[in-house]
Structures are given as structure tokens and as C-alpha cells.
Amino acid sequence: MIQLILVFAAILIIGIFFAIFRISTLASAVMKKPGAEKDSQVSSGNSLHGALFIILPLIGFGAAGWYGYKYFGIYTQPHASEAASQTEPLFWIATAIIIAMFVITNVALFYFAYKYRYRQNGKAHFYPDNTKLEIVWTIVPAIILTTLIFTGWKAWRNIMYEANAPKNAQVIEIMGYQFAWMVRYAGEDNKIGRSDFRYVDASNAMGLDFTDPRTNDDIQLGQAEIHVVKGKPIELKIRARDVLHSVSIPHFRQKMDAVPGMPTRMTFVPTMTTAEMRQELSTRPEWQVIDETTGKARFQNFNYEIACQEVCGRGHFSMRAVIIVETQEEYDKWLAEQQPYVEKNKDYVVKAIEKQKRIKKEGLTTMRESANKGVRQTASF
Amino acid sequence: MAVAVQHDDAHVHDEHEHHENFITKYIFSTDHKMIAKQFLISGILWAFIGGLLSILFRLQLGFPEMDLSFLRFLLGDWIDATGKLDPEFYLALVTMHGTIMVFFVLTAGLSGTFSNFLIPLQIGARDMASGFMNMLSFWFFFVSSVLMFQSLFLENGPAAGGWVVYPPLSALPQALKGSGDGMTYWLLSMTFFIVSQLLGGINYITTVINLRTKGMSFSRLPLTIWAFFITAIIGLLSFPVLFSAALLLMFDRMLGTSFYLSDIYVAGQALHHTGGSAILYQHLFWFLGHPEVYIVLLPALGISSEVIATNARKPIFGYKAMILSMLGIAVLSFIVWAHHMFVTGMNPFLGTIFMFLTLIIAVPSAVKAFNYITTLWRGNIRFTPAMLFSIGLVSFFISGGVTGIILGNSALDIYLHDTYYVVAHFHLVMGSASFFGMMAGVYHWFPKMFGRMMDDRLGYIHFWFTFAGVYLVFFPMHFIGIAGFPRRYYSFTAFDAFRIMADLNSFISIAAILTFSAQLVFGFNFFYSIFRGRRAPLNPWNSNTLEWTTPINPGHGNWVGQIPYVYRWAYDYSKPNAEQDGFTDFIPQNVPYSQTPNSNLPYENELIEIEKEEMLPTDTTLHTEKVPE
């Protein structure tokens, strides 16, 4: 019934608008003064539009500036990694430059539109080109861009190139699947054992290969809560089990896709423990606001989070993991409580080895491995 | 048009005029003007559908708690028992919004409409090189549209893996409902779409090269035609690559091949696929995907060049620089694609290369923006609705363009990739700018299309609400992007980091609804004016280009009698001393230099001799031409 009334209301409103439109059209046709015909080059509102090009942008710049200033502490996420301390200054320098470009060019555009609006006896200036001017504004942006590129290039190499990664990094594997993350620590040898998607079953969600001795000390976590030590480089070995995912760690300003069939990697160095960060945030007013979901102040909830950032299906928006950055002592204490997968699931592993050997004997793995060599070794596409 | 028509050259199209029926005139028409209108009206209908889809997902994003039961009449079971939108259908909405807007509205609706309409009219041709291929182009597009539209109503929903439809998600129905039949429809539809684009593109290129009227050299082509010409070349080189990407995806889905798939365990089962590369698809897709940005944008820039020059009553500043920057953009557009893939696991060294190439493309873009602004400088600007939309375009082009400098910097893109910062960036620079170019084109050439004028005041209302609305929607998204909010998230409540700025998201949604409502004003104005608009004069904007020398309602063949010759470029606005030659502030392209001795520039006087020898003796249009007061 309400829907019916709404529909009628909508029809009524549209009808009223239409009536107003018709009446004003007719009225303007009837009421046009005979003398007005002379300057029919432009519509009567021409100056109004010129003025609006000044007024609206002024309001817009004002509002954007106000929001940008007032809510700065809200929309900037805290950061705590070595990569972030390289890219953050670059981002804000580039932002300052583009804001300047944005304001100057838009102001020129709108001001000219206003200033040179139609005048009855006005005449435009015939000005088809000026080579000097054009050379100048080709070269100036080119120089600004080149500067930005080179600074960005340096940061990019430091963060992404495997050759520049710290050699002593602790290896952790993360695997994305619909719709969660799984984490495996490399254990004492700091080497991740092999895995194969066809070894996956209800107990062995990551498809660990138990015939590989490097697997024996690997610790597979029950929940996606990665513990790392402040200041200690981590090499994340990233893979996906079903579709594309992306490991995004906003507070570290880092991100890397997880691709089925093509392992990827990321190195990060956390620079503040979770506790330190909470401590620091507790002094900021916008972090003292109570979060309605948890009933606690925002700074108390703070966690370094991993979010999936490549669309992966229904649960994409809730694919979360947490990184706990802590001191060496806290980490050691936590690690002491963890047990390698192989030790925890002895009975299962014995059976699984049989199965994995059988699959290998059938030759499938070997065949596949050789077929995949090019893809598996590098991410060089 | 019952006038006896004088045939010239090899063109005998006019013969058809006399036995045209409803079907050959309005449906299976080979007249470029009718085909353009077919593209335009389909494009407008698609734009309303695409816009409506965005309103639906904006409701979810802006008001996550809202009871959406009232939408059940439209969405059926995609609204669950508690009145919540289904998360997979949310993805489907996002996907279809992107696909529809990029391909069906801004490629077919913009380029299809104005390339078809303006190329023959502005270069002085009776029709496209092949009217039949042109007709096929529309009907392939129509089939493609029907398939895509039908896919919205499939039981498992349309394609839902994002408009880029990356495999493996798009290849595995087990992973996503929309990757079932919906994806099959998507691929089939896109196949027909590509065929349509290629048929159209070949035609545009051939027509521009071969059918220009006498005197219309490339250096006298209006910038619209340059833009359409370059666009068509880009399309011709890049769409086949999308076709190959789609074809291989079809093979993976239907024949069990492993082009893109490898090492997959999904829904409790290890799949047989090995050795494929998901990244390969991304390379192939973006090899079209990035040039596609310019396929969408260049026609809009071409249109705005023409509209701005006409209404500022000034020559476009730096005509040659405009052409060179378009050519530069076109070439560079093919070698920047991997900037969409900085963090996909691609070799970071490649990332370096693509960062350099990407930032180079900012230079010609900046030149274009500066040239538009300088064209306004010391003009005598008439704010027609088309002019307002063109100025709006330039503003969006700048505002969205500058953030490209940050996103193209691979080090900064690591954080911003796939956040709302990207959404804000491309919606401004490519989406809204191109959309405004399309609107500028519609308002400007409506009189030529339908012989009637659109209502000014409704046009102004439409412009100001849309202009303000677009900024209100997309500017705040930069803040959300800086906060790291990921794209394509159904809700942000699962993360501590993203449980902020809900009010800003509501604000954006309200602005989006207002902006969409303003388009209804346009819809009314457009369809009403086709039938009831004020009758158009011959040359309502006092423009120089050739299309305004045709009759108010040109028949198939465009000109009665001989096609006018072209003696000058399209931008002789406010030329000094033109009054002494009997002109006001514009001298149309078909006026010989010998008629304008006072306003000619020195090198133009030299051309008079050649003119007298080669052109004037055979130009019969001059005798009947009404000399402007």
C-alpha cells in the first residue's frame, strides 16, 4: 500500500515539474520583449554562469580544505614500517605538488571563464598559437615529473627488489583462500617446506608436503594471527589456493597479490610494536572515540591488519588477518607455545605420507613440476 | 526530402531517398546519421541502467544498516529475508556498472555516436565508406547489448568478478555464482561488442583517409575528427587483444585448457589445471584496458576542443600541439598498461619501466589542459549548455589527472592500489570527463541531429547539478582512499582500520543519488525536445565546420547538390578585420581566401593563387552560398 502511495506521489511530483516547465516555456515565449531579440547570441543567464564558476569552486575549495585539515587525523592511517617511512614523505611531497597544480589550473580555468564571459560588443582575441609558451609548459611539467619519478624509483627498488631485501629475513608463508588467510612459520631451519595443492584435504589445508624434510619443523598457525618482532625483517612468501587474493597491510603501506600457481613475496620491517602504537595513539583525540562495535576506545582496538585487496568473491570484504608486532621476549614466549605441524598431527602425517608418495609415484607431480618450472621459479611475467 | 538531387562524383546514395520505408529508415538504416542516433539512444538507455546499478550499491555502502526490502520488487531474492543486499550481488552490481559504463556508454555511446555522426558531416562526405558495415556495427552492438542485459536476469546473476573479470575467479563457477552462466554471457556479449567496434573502427579510419572533400587536408581537419581518427586506430589495435584474452578464458572455462589456471584447489577439489598463468590474462586485458581509457577519453577531448573554440569565439590554442599531444598519448597508451599491475607479482623491474613510461604520458595530457585554458583566455565566452559541459570536462580532466601522477609512481601505488583513491582518480579523469564530453556533444549537435533545440534552462539545471554532484561524489573518495579503504568491499565493518568515515560514505551516497536524479532532467529534455523542441536555425552556434552547411534536416547524402570545398581550417573565429570582409566573428571553412582579402594572414594570401587555379572553377556551391551579413 505504501509503495502504491509512493508511486502516486512520484507521478504527481513529475507531473508538477512538467507543468512548471510547460508554463515557463510558454511564458518566456509570450513575454519576450521585442527589443530583447537583438542580443540573442547568448541566453540571459550568461553572466550568472560566469559568477557560478567563481562561487561554487570557492565553496568547493573551502570545504575540501576544511575537511582535509579538520579530519587529517582520521583519514591518515598510522604507519610503522621501513617501507612506509620511505614512501610517506614522498606521498605528501607529491600531494603538495599536485594540490598546487590542481588549484592553479582550476582557478585559471574558472577565472577565465568568469572574466571573459560574453559581452555584447566584446571581441575575442585571435590567438592561435605561441610556440615559446607551449615549449615552456611542455618542459616544466616534464621536469617536475622527472624529479618525482626518480625519488619514487629509489623507494620502489628498495621496497620491491628481491636483491635489495635483507638477507637475514625470517621466512613466513601466508596463503589466501576463500575467505581467510593461513600462516606457516619456517621453523628453526628458516626454510619453508614444499607444498602441493593436490595434497590439500580437511586436515592439511595448506597442502604441506611431508616427504620434504624441511616441512618437519614448520609451524602452521591455527588462526591468522602473525607474531613478529619489532625491527626484525620478515620475508612473506605469498600464495593462493583458489583465486587471486592480495595481501595488503595498510599500516605498513605494503601490498602484494597472491596468485594461484605463482608464488609471490614481500619483505617488511615493522618499526613499532602493537603496544607502542596503541600507546602513541592514545594521546590523539580522534583515537579516543569509542568504537561502537567493540565498546572500547579506538586506540585500544588498534591492530596491524591484513586485508584482502583483490576481489575474491562473496567474503572478500571480511578476509582479515592480524599482525602482532612485539618485543623479542614476548615473541620468544609465544613461539615456545607453538608446535610444528608434523609433531602435532603425527597419526595423520604417517597416513598422508603414504598418499603423497602414491601421488608422486603416479608421476603426476614430476610431470607437473617440470611443466611448471618456468612459472614456479620466478615471477617474471 | 523530395528535392531533385544533383549527383556528383561516384556518390549516388541519394537515389535511396525516394523509396525509403520505416524499416530501412529507422531500423536497418545505412545512413550514418541514423546509425549515430541509434548508438546515442542505446547509449543513453545504458547510461541510465549503469547509473541505477551504482545507486543500488551506493545504498549499501552509504547506509549499510538500511532495510532494503523495498527493492525486492526489482532485485527479488538478491535481497535476503532481513532486508540485506546479497554480497555476491553487490559484486555483480559493481561489475556490471563498470562494464556498462566503460564499454556500452562511453565507448559505444560516445565514440559510436559522434564518430558516426560527425566524421562524414565534418569532412564533407555523403556517408561512411561502407554504410553496410556501419549498419552491421550497430547490430552487432545491439546483439551484444541484448546478451549483456539478459545476463542481469540470470538465476545466478550476471558476471561478478569486477569489470576486469580476472581469472581464476571468473573461470570458476565454484568460486563465485556470477562466474557461471553470467560470465558466459559476459564473454559472448563482449565478443560481439569487439566485432562491432572493429567494424566501426575500420570504417571511421577508411572514411577519414579517403572521403575528405576537396581542400580538407589533414592539417585542416577539425580536432573532433583527429580525435575520432586516432581513437579508431587505437581501438583497431587493442580490441583484438581483448578478444584473444576472452577467447582463451572461454577455452579455460569450456574446454578445460590451462592458459590462466594453475594449482587450484577449490570447493573441496583439486583441479587438473597446471602451468597456466593468471598474470598472462592481466597483461592481455590491460593491453586493451589501458588504451581503452583513451578510446573513451579522446573523443570527449575532441568534442570539447570544438565546443570550446566555438563558444569562446576563439581559435583553439595550439592546434598542432593538440594533434601532436593526441598522437603522443595514442602511442604511449600502448606501452603503459602494466601500471595497473605494479603489485600483482609482476617482476618489479618491469614495474620500474612502466612507471617511467606512465609518467611521460602526463606531459601531453598537461599540454592539452593548458591549451584549453589558454583558449578561454581573452575569449568572448557564451555559456551554452555544451560549453558548460566542456569547461566541466577540462576541470575533471585536471582534477582526476593530477592524482595519476601519484598513482603512476609505483612506490606510492603500492599503498593506494585498489583503494578508493583509484576509484576517485579514474571516475574523474576518465568516467566523468568523458561523460561530460558526451553531454557537451549531445547539447551541441542535437540541433543537427533532430532539427530542434534542446531546452537551455533544463540544460543549465542539468549541468550545475551534475557538475557539483560529480565533485561531491568523487572528491571525498580521495580521503577514503588515503585512509586505505579497499575497492569492491561490501562493507567495512570487519576491519578496525576501516570502521571510520561512515558519515562520509553516506554523504557520497546522497550526492550520488542527487547526481543521478539530475540526469532524469536530461532524459526528459532529450526525449521531449526530439519531438517538441524549438525548431533549430541553420547554424545555431555560429560555427565554422561543414556540418552546419547542410540543410537543417539533412537527408541521406547530407548535402543537396555538390559537397562544399574546404579552403581554411575550422578555427577562424574572431579573426581581425573579418568585418571588412563582410563576416562577423566567424568565417566558415568553405569560404575561400579570395573572399576575405582583409582578414587573411600573409601566408593565406599566398594560397589564393592555388585556390583560383585548382578549386574555384569547379566549386559550384559558392554561387548559391548565402554570404553572411
All residues of chain B having their beta carbon less than 8 Å from the beta carbon of residue A138 are 363, 366-367
* DSSP SS3 for A290: strand
Instruction: Extract the C-alpha cell encoding A78.
Output: 598510522
- The predicted-structure confidence for A25-58, as pLDDT tens digits, reads as follows 777 777 665 544 445 667 778 889 999 999 999 9
Question: Which CATH number is associated with domain A168-373?
Answer: 2.60.40.420
The pLDDT assigned to B14 comes to 45
Scanning A240-279 for CB atoms below 8 A from B yields 241-244, 246, 248, 250-251, 253-257, 259-262, 264
What ipTM goes with this model?
A: 0.92
CB-based contact B106:B431 (threshold 8 Å): yes
- The predicted-structure confidence for A263-274, as pLDDT tens digits, reads as follows 999 999 999 999
pLDDT for B6 beyond 60: no
pLDDT-based confidence at A22, cuts 50/70/90?
Answer: confident
Please state, in angstroms and rounded to a whole number, the distance separating the CA atoms of residues A217 and A211.
13
**Cα distance from N-terminal residue to C-terminal residue, chain B:** 28
- The predicted-structure confidence for B88-137, as pLDDT tens digits, reads as follows 999 999 999 999 999 999 999 999 999 999 999 999 999 999 999 999 99
**How high does pLDDT run on average in chain A?**
88
Distances (CA, A) of B364 to A135, B114, B219, B339, B544: 11, 23, 19, 18, 27
CB-based contact A319:A312 (threshold 8 Å): yes
User: Across the interface, do A160 and B348 touch by the CB < 8 Å criterion?
Assistant: yes
pLDDT-based confidence at B627, cuts 50/70/90?
Answer: very low
Residue B210: how many CB atoms within 10 A of its CB? 10
Name the nearest CA neighbour of B173 among B182, B165, B164: B182
Query: What kind of architecture, by CATH, is found in domain B13-532?
Result: Up-down Bundle (1.20)
CB-based contact B333:B290 (threshold 8 Å): yes
**How high does pLDDT run on average in chain B?**
92
Q: A219 CA to chain B: closest CA distance, Å?
A: 22
Q: A300 CA to chain B: closest CA distance, Å?
A: 10
pLDDT for A324 beyond 80: yes
Please state, in angstroms and rounded to a whole number, the distance separating the CA atoms of residues B53 and B108.
19
Instruction: Extract the C-alpha cell encoding B153.
Output: 536476469
Q: What does the domain layout of chain B look like in residue ranges?
A: 13-532, 575-624
Indicate the pairing of strand A234-240 with strand A225-229: unpaired
- The one-letter code for the residue type at A293 is T
Name the nearest CA neighbour of B287 among B249, B338, B322: B338
Beta-strand (E) ranges in A88-193?
170-177, 180-185
Distances (CA, A) of B259 to A166, B174, B559: 35, 18, 53
Please state, in angstroms and rounded to a whole number, the distance separating the CA atoms of residues A213 and A193.
7
Q: What does the domain layout of chain A look like in residue ranges?
A: 50-119+131-164, 168-373
**Cα distance from N-terminal residue to C-terminal residue, chain A:** 60
Distance from CA of residue A160 to its chain's centroid?
Answer: 16
Please state, in angstroms and rounded to a whole number, the distance separating the CA atoms of residues B199 and B393.
29
Helix extents (H) in B154-271: 181-210, 223-254
| DSSP state for residue B625 in the 8-state scheme | P
Summarize the confidence of residues A367-374 as an average pLDDT: 46
What is the 3-state composition of chain B as percent helix, strand, coil, each rounded to the nearest 5? 65, 0, 30
The pLDDT assigned to A214 comes to 94
All residues of chain B having their beta carbon less than 8 Å from the beta carbon of residue A56 are 464, 467-468
Q: Pick from B276, B409, B501: which is nearest to A74 by CB?
A: B501
Name the nearest CA neighbour of B304 among A323, A353, A109: A109
The pLDDT assigned to A361 comes to 77
Element (H, E) at A328: helix A328-337
Lowest mean pLDDT among A97-106, B24-33, B161-170, B374-383: B24-33
Distances (CA, A) of B468 to A232, B208, B525: 49, 37, 20
- The predicted-structure confidence for B200-257, as pLDDT tens digits, reads as follows 999 999 999 999 999 999 999 999 999 999 999 999 999 999 999 999 999 999 998 9
pLDDT-based confidence at A1, cuts 50/70/90?
Answer: low
The pLDDT assigned to B222 comes to 97
Residue A15: how many CB atoms within 10 A of its CB? 10
